[in-house]
Structure 1
Amino acid sequence: MPLPTTPLLTVSRRWVGVFLGLLVLLGVALHRDYGMSWDEPADRLNAFVSAKYVALKLAPRLAQGQPRLADIPDLRQHRDADHGVLFMLPLVVLEALWPGPDPAAWAYRRHLLGFFLFVAGTWAVFRLGKARLGSWRWGLVGAGLLVLSPRIFAEAFYNYKDIVFLSLFALAMLTLRQLLRWPTAGRALLHAVATAAAIDVRTMGVLVPLLTLGFGALELLYRPERRRGLAGALGLYLPAMTVGVVLGWPYLWENPVGNFLAALHSFSQYAKPLEVFYWGEFVSIQALPWHYAPVWLLITTPVPYTVLFGLGIAGVVSSAWALGLRRWLRQASARHDLLLLAWFFGPLLGIILLNSSIYDGWRHLYFIYPAFVLLAARGLRALWQAWGGWWPGPKRGPLQTWGAGAVLGLVAVGTARTAWRMVAEHPYQYAYFSFLPGAAIERNFERDYWGLSTRQGLEWVLTHDARPVLTVGMDERTALTLLINLKMLLPADRARLRIVAPAEAEYFFTTYRWHPGPYPASMGRPVHTIRVGGAAVLTVLHRP
């Protein structure tokens, strides 16, 4: 017999459904607005390489008769074979079966499906926030902060590694919490699937089983009544997770242990020569200063969220200090807070201490951001309690009430400004900086390292020059972004454009990636510039 539905439960489900439904509709409305990122062709090729390998393993006769597979590299010789392909693999299989006449069609489908997975990750953040903060309202606050993060929102459409990994990692943290609280065989298997999915996108997913074992040990210590059930569940989880990782990653099939260790080493020590523009200088990714990731996190995260995060951390520390570590850890809420701290600070400190090679800002650490917004939601709840908003508690003094109210007002204004900028700067939210002026951004940091703005540059040229044939060019180091975004245009528009060498181009494009300064007058005069937050992310030069 089904349990009766309480009015409160009905109201919460309705609001959560409205929130997630609007988010889905927003994705449908916006997914065609973004260009194709620098990484998308490589991600697609990696998936095709794995698809060819699987086809030759499972149906060799059929695969050998497919002429399209002849041009795809062999997995054993492919230089990026160690990249996880779980998200892209089924999409390229579908693309091979139903290619269609327009190359942009599948790019848009990938954008939309990537965003739908982000919606699932947002739902996981809501559930984690609701469980820790004791209210569906606060769960929605945490999910809302995630969505109202400009770079995260934009990259959810096209970043098939970092944002997909963020979403899967959040889902794995949700299944971990459920397993630790109510250990059963079914929850162990569900957590194993979620863990394997995260690992099969990025090898950094190995943090999930480490967190599972570490916090499983805490539960065994502080909840003796659950020891037998939890120990059995963990015993089922580990082999099931291992099998899931191997099944979902064709690269591991022939040598699971050796190839996985090679992939893990490749991620931690990226061997390819690459420089990033950081604090006004080009720095090798093998020699990054320790503060590279923390600085990028700070300057690209809305200031109100950082303030709330600090308040959330202060609340956790003060609770642990007041009770003492042992008494504090006896509380389930405290162990949940500790999980959030480990989720956020563990990978960040690991990158710093191991001097791991990262690039393009802090995107390789995006998966720690859900922990950031959940701790920020905790800080906002503490501020709300101090102010006295719909929360039971002792009577507060006027100074405390007015002080908390003033901070809440500033946070509200700052969050509203972030939302306004997301609308006003669409679809360039991926170049968002939180508080730096445009001139400081241009002097010190990379901007459109994805190269997406070249699509809007091409559209501008087509709109403002009616001639039937136009020549465009770009620095050879970034010319790939011009080529791939040409495919995002309508066929008639593509037919009007010719990509040529920079010296021969009438229109020259720059996204400032490895040339942050202006070009000489011989390259042409600027006729179109896209600015985000006062900083130029794309300039089109015209040379008659």
Structure 2
Amino acid sequence: MKLINKLVTLNSLITGFFLIYLFVGIFSFTDYGISFDEKTNRMNGLVSAKYTIKKLGINVPLGDQKAIPDLYDYKDQDYGVIFDLPMLIIEKLLKCNVKDSFRLRHFFTFLIFFISTIYFYKTAILITNQRLLALLVTLFLIVSPRIFAESFYNSKDIVCLAFFIITTYYLLLFSESFTLNYCFWLSLFTSMAICTRVVALMVPLIIVFVSIQALVEKKYTPRKILLNTFICLSLILFFSILFWPFLWEDPFSNIATVFKNMKQFRWKNSVLYMGMYVPAGDLPKHYIPVYILITTPILYSLFFFLGIGESVIRFIKDPKHIFASKNRTILILLALFTGPLLAIIILDSVVYDGWRQLYFIYGAYLLIALKGIQWLYAQLVKNERIKWISLFVLSLVSFNVCYTIYWMIKNHPYQNVYFNTLAGRNIEKNFERDYWGLSYKQALEYIVAHDSSSSIHIICNLPPGITNTIFLDPKDKSRISIETIDPEKRAQTLPKDLSCDYFITEFRYISDPTPFYKELFSVNVDDFKVVAIYDGKSLLSK
């Protein structure tokens, strides 16, 4: 009876945990602005929708189709649209206005990530068979400030992370059983990850590896392993082409184009990194590892290194059996984490805006951390004489998680600019802040709430300032005339020609608001400015 009561209590705790997270998401998704890429992502969906309905001969009203580029003439034709295309169709079927369409995108981005957290919990149970440890590491995933914020608007990188998490779950199950059921789900979600970021093509390579491992160990008949592996790889190819209209006409040539563009992505701007503006193509190799370490709560990284250390020691002690089935899980996780990092280094790929293009490795990162937690837990349980250490570790984990939650609540909705103490104190001078431009939403809301003028002229640093007027009340929006003058153009313009009512900047590409100098309002996080509004009439003369 006591066991039943414990199980009921634990089940209630787990159910309550996910319900609370769901409600937090439902009540938070409207708080975030429109990010830099969202208009482009929506247009990607429109372009592919135009191509798809024409190709299939179906009728979905898209508005003025002449204003929508043809797929093969479109500069971003190589973007996967596994999220953007269905969202565009849903938006049109529901007859959403522009404001509601972006709200809808934010909600579904969160919903997909929420579902993936359940899969992450299930994956953690597969690894540890301990529900409380699985729940703890799932809490780590949710209480990761940048991931939390971006789970509402980053429909590329967070959706890719979500699909990778689900793929990892089915990959572990398939590697243990080689059944057709897991084969189907693994192929489906692998292809969805590929259609979000093509680097997910590494997963089929891992599938081949676990198949070879199974053949060597003779756990199943060679026929079962080879046949189901072949079916899995074939389905991945089929679903990937099906879900990606750009691949329909010449799949292999077009996938080669995608890889070529991924290697040297067409983004030529500079990034503020360690106090210097560095062209994205010239960023040092340590850019990604450093960004992972300074934007992830330190405790999570400590457990990650503990998991790595425990695995390396185990491999050194028994080098002949590194590739044995007992190490399959950690090898898969290491491949999912290190594979993309090595690919970035070998291909010399262009990365920027922190490590968001590699968010999909974060699931593996935390699951490796879970291995560290599991090892530490086992040591503490075995040694009853060091109970005080157990209490210390429990207190340390509790304090860190609670403090991170407190920080996230205090700085809501600016969790996307989270840095831990490893980043130092001079964030403004060393690293990018709100590169997404989300904070324009709050800056615009501040202006219309504090200025009742019938006509307000605003200059903003970059395009998200204009995009975020979408979320304003129509009456307030009608009072505003807004334009973008980027830092380079601003530097070449006479101050008198920049006169306006307000200048808004999120400090991207330049941390100096010159010629504007009189600050009226700013949002600050940890002693650095996220966004600021300046008096547009007060200008320095050159």
TM-score, normalised via structure 1 length: 0.92
CA–CA distance in 1 between the matches of 2:84 and 2:483?
A: 31
Gap regions ≥5 residues in structure 2? 486-497, 538-542
Report the equivalent of 2:79.
Answer: 83
Counterpart of 1:410 (choices 396, 408, 424) is 396
Report the equivalent of 2:473.
Answer: 490
Report the equivalent of 2:173.
Answer: 178
The CA deviation at 1:414 is 2.0
Within 5 Å, give how 1:226-241 maps onto structure 2: 226-241=221-236
CA–CA distance in 1 between the matches of 2:221 and 2:296?
A: 40
User: Comparing 14-23 with 84-93, which one deviates more in the overlay?
Assistant: 14-23
Counterpart of 1:519 (choices 513, 524, 527) is 513
What is the Cα-based RMSD across aligned positions, in Å? 2.1
**Residue 8 to residue 218, structure 1, CA distance change in 2 (3 Å):** farther
Amino acid at match of 1:461: I
* Preserved CA contact (<8 Å) 1:142 1:377: yes
CA–CA distance in 1 between the matches of 2:62 and 2:403?
A: 54
Report the equivalent of 1:464.
Answer: 450
Amino acid at match of 1:489: L
User: Comparing 349-358 with 21-30, which one deviates more in the overlay?
Assistant: 349-358
Amino acid at match of 1:354: L
CA–CA distance in 2 between the matches of 1:11 and 1:249?
A: 45
- Alignment partner of 2:220: what SS? helix
The CA deviation at 1:437 is 6.7
**Residue 170 to residue 488, structure 1, CA distance change in 2 (3 Å):** same
User: Comparing 338-347 with 358-367, which one deviates more in the overlay?
Assistant: 338-347
* Preserved CA contact (<8 Å) 1:471 1:506: yes
Number of residue pairs the alignment of both structures matches: 523
CA–CA distance in 2 between the matches of 1:66 and 1:187?
A: 37
- Alignment partner of 1:19: what SS? helix
CA–CA distance in 1 between the matches of 2:216 and 2:135?
A: 32
CA–CA distance in 2 between the matches of 1:348 and 1:508?
A: 39
Counterpart of 1:21 (choices 19, 22, 41) is 19
Deviations 1:52-71 (CA, angstroms, capped at 9, x unpaired) = 001111117x57x9752121
Report the equivalent of 1:126.
Answer: 121
CA–CA distance in 2 between the matches of 1:511 and 1:501?
A: 12
- Alignment partner of 2:104: what SS? helix
TM-score, normalised via structure 2 length: 0.92
The CA deviation at 1:387 is 3.1
CA–CA distance in 2 between the matches of 1:94 and 1:130?
A: 35
Report the equivalent of 2:354.
Answer: 361
Deviations 1:71-106 (CA, angstroms, capped at 9, x unpaired) = 100001000000000111011112223333x42111
- Alignment partner of 1:160: what SS? coil
Report the equivalent of 1:156.
Answer: 151
User: Comparing 44-53 with 353-362, which one deviates more in the overlay?
Assistant: 353-362
* Preserved CA contact (<8 Å) 1:383 1:408: no
CA–CA distance in 1 between the matches of 2:483 and 2:40?
A: 22
* Preserved CA contact (<8 Å) 1:75 1:251: yes
* Preserved CA contact (<8 Å) 2:188 2:239: yes
* Preserved CA contact (<8 Å) 1:526 1:540: yes
* Preserved CA contact (<8 Å) 2:62 2:92: no
- Alignment partner of 1:82: what SS? coil
User: Comparing 311-320 with 252-261, which one deviates more in the overlay?
Assistant: 311-320
CA–CA distance in 1 between the matches of 2:91 and 2:231?
A: 36
Report the equivalent of 2:420.
Answer: 434
Identity value in percent = 32
Deviations 1:129-181 (CA, angstroms, capped at 9, x unpaired) = 11111112221112111000000010000001100000001111111111111
Report the equivalent of 2:495.
Answer: none
**Residue 350 to residue 18, structure 1, CA distance change in 2 (3 Å):** same
Report the equivalent of 1:444.
Answer: 430
The CA deviation at 1:10 is 5.2
Amino acid at match of 1:232: L
Counterpart of 1:305 (choices 287, 300, 304) is 300
The CA deviation at 1:193 is 0.8
CA–CA distance in 2 between the matches of 1:221 and 1:232?
A: 16
CA–CA distance in 2 between the matches of 1:228 and 1:383?
A: 41
Counterpart of 2:411 (choices 425, 441, 447) is 425
Report the equivalent of 2:252.
Answer: 257
CA–CA distance in 2 between the matches of 1:292 and 1:437?
A: 13
Within 5 Å, give how 1:40-189 maps onto structure 2: 40-59=38-57, 68-100=64-96, 102-189=97-184
The CA deviation at 1:119 is 1.0
Amino acid at match of 1:326: K
Gap regions ≥5 residues in structure 1? none
The CA deviation at 1:272 is 3.3
- Alignment partner of 1:537: what SS? strand
CA–CA distance in 2 between the matches of 1:375 and 1:501?
A: 44
Deviations 1:259-284 (CA, angstroms, capped at 9, x unpaired) = 01111221121133221111111111
**Residue 9 to residue 70, structure 1, CA distance change in 2 (3 Å):** farther
**Residue 427 to residue 438, structure 1, CA distance change in 2 (3 Å):** farther
